[in-house]
Every structure is written in C-alpha cells, then in structure tokens.
Structure 1
Amino acid sequence: MNRTIKRLMLIFLGAFALSTVGVAVYQVGWVMPGQRCEAKGDWWDWRGRTCAHPVLISDITGRVIDNDAQRKAAKAAAAKARGEAPPAPQ
C-alpha cells in the first residue's frame, strides 16, 4: 500500500477517535446530568453544569396570598405566562 494512503488512513482514524471521545464526554458531562436533573423537576444550567431547585418568591419574602380573588388572578397570570389556558372558575 502507498505511504500516503496509510498516512491518510491514520489521520482519518485519529479524527474519528477524537470525535468519538468528544461525543462521549459531551454525553457524560452535559446531557446525562441534565436529563437526571430535569427528571427530578429541577432546572439544569448547561453553561455552568448546575442543577438548581426552583424556589418560590413567597418562600423568600414570607408573603403569601391570602385573598382568594388575588390567588385566582395570580394563577391565571402564571398560566398565561406558561402559554396554557387559564384555570376554569369554580
């Protein structure tokens, strides 16, 4: 076999091996932890590879909605922000 063909074969084999290792590192380092985090219902930040638990603002401030009309309005606003239909009046 020609030396050039052998050299090209080794170059392509090396490029294939490096890309395979790169895909494996991406899967193990970013995709799999993200799937585990989101399966728990938490938020996954892929840039910092951080799994964060959402915290309600009422837990931070200690303020709760004690008025039923305001609670319904807040639920309707949250549903609208998520793009869902507002809850049916009861």
Structure 2
Amino acid sequence: MSNWINRLKLIFLALFVLLSTVAVVYHFGWVRPAQKCEVEEHKWWDPGGRVCATPVLISDITGRTIEDKAAAAEARKAIGRPAGP
C-alpha cells in the first residue's frame, strides 16, 4: 500500500509542476505581450500569429478624407497618431 501512495504522490507532484510551468509560459508568452501591445502601445494584438499590428485608418487605404475635422482628429488619436493633417 505504501508504494501506491508514494507513486501517486509523485505523479500528482509532477502534474502540479508541469501545469504550473505551462501556466507561467502561457502568461509570459501570450498574455503579457498582448496586454503590453493593447494597453501600453494602443495597437492590435493578433493571438494566432502573436503579432502586435498597427491599426490603419480606412481613409488611408481608400484615399478618401474625413470631412469633419473633429472626427478626423479623434480617429487619429484613437490609433495613436498626432491629430494634425
């Protein structure tokens, strides 16, 4: 009976160490970079590729300008650009 208890104890200890290591790797590999990207840098985080991407205004792609100056300044501020033209 004592062998079973010791073996079971070691199995649970190994499982605990393994799952703790997985949690730490996940936190420092995925969660922390995502928070840094979204909160500190105000960019977009792609969890599939683990890429911190810069948002692009639709007006930059299409070439159409935003007529309302306040709306244009707010859109630029939202993606972290200066409010000027």
Larger radius of gyration: 1
TM-score by length of 2: 0.72
The residue number in structure 1 matching 2:16 is 16
**Aligned partner of residue 24 in structure 2, secondary structure:** helix
Say if 2:46 is the partner of 1:45: yes
Percent identity between matched residues is 55
Larger RCO, structure (CA 8 Å, separation 6 or more): 2
The residue number in structure 2 matching 1:26 is 26
* Distance (whole Å) between structure 2 residues aligned to residue 64 and residue 7 of structure 1: 70
- In the TM superposition, residue 45 of structure 1 has moved relative to its aligned partner by 1.5
Flag as ranges the 4+ runs of structure 1 deviating above 4 A. none
Q: Deviations over 1:5-41 (max 9, x none)?
A: 1100100001001100110111011000001101211
Structure 2 gap ranges (5+)? 72-85
Count of residues in Structure 1 that have an aligned counterpart in Structure 2: 69
Structure 1 gap ranges (5+)? 76-90
Alpha-carbon RMSD: 1.8
Amino acid of the structure 2 residue aligned with 1:48: G
Query: Which stretch shows the higher mean deviation, 19-28 or 39-48?
Result: 39-48
